[in-house]
Amino acid sequence: MGAWPNEPPDQKFGRGPNHPAYFLSWHDSRRFAAALNEHVKKTGQGAASFRLPSEAEWEYACRAGTATRFFFGTDERLAGEYLWYKGNTDPAAPKPVALKKPNPWGLYDMSGNVWEWCEDYYHPSYEGAPRDGSAWSQPTHEFVILRSGDTGLSASKCRCANRNDHRKPEERSEDIGFRLVRGGR
């Protein structure tokens, strides 16, 4: 895509081509999706519809048809085969992607490594959540949702249902990245 528009001077994006994009705010991630959509349109590569996933979409993709704490089951001793977390990485920092086993749908690094922004604003419970899997787009709080976990957490904290609800949309950190989905809502 060329140069990132309005790149902040402290932007990191990752330590190499195989690292996740990180040190990006929710706003940065949404701007990146918009820039990618514009690039796809300009280059004639079809309909562009990249966006952050809703929290429900993120968890659905992470679980990959499973209903256990982790997409690989309940045995936490297997965590090292599937995710980066505090017990198998030192120092705690983002690691290259796709070095661990993928989930049953072939998605890598859905748990652990870096937190991933979701489109949803934070709500303390799921009461009143959209029933169609769309994002909770009406802010009732100053925070937005992140899912996954990071290399500073224990494996038990990187389960499929883990959510981080205390990040402001302008916040950047080495433990925050994003994942895009393609498709309309």
> Which residues form the domain of 78?
26-182
Q: What is the pLDDT of residues 124-149, one digit of tens each?
A: 888 989 999 999 988 878 899 999 99
> Quick check: is 15 in a domain?
no
Q: Is the pLDDT of residue 12 over 80?
A: no
The DSSP annotation for 54-95 comes to: PHHHHHHHHHTT--SSBTTBS-GGGHHHH-B-GGG-SS-S--
Q: Are 25 and 172 in contact (CB under 8 A)?
A: yes
> Quick check: is 2 in a domain?
no
Q: How open is the CA angle 9-116-97, to the nearest 5 degrees? A: 85
Residue with the bigger pLDDT between 183 and 100: it is 100
Q: What integer best gives the mean pLDDT of the chain?
A: 89
Place of tokens 């652990």: 112
> Quick check: is 44 in a domain?
yes
> What CATH number has the domain bearing residue 102?
3.90.1580.10
Domain count, the chain: 1
Q: Is the pLDDT of residue 15 over 70?
A: no
> Quick check: is 61 in a domain?
yes
> Quick check: is 42 in a domain?
yes
> Quick check: is 64 in a domain?
yes
The span from the CA of 47 to the CA of 171, in Å, is 30
Stated pTM of the model:
0.90
Q: Is the pLDDT of residue 97 over 90?
A: yes
Q: Are 94 and 20 in contact (CB under 8 A)?
A: yes
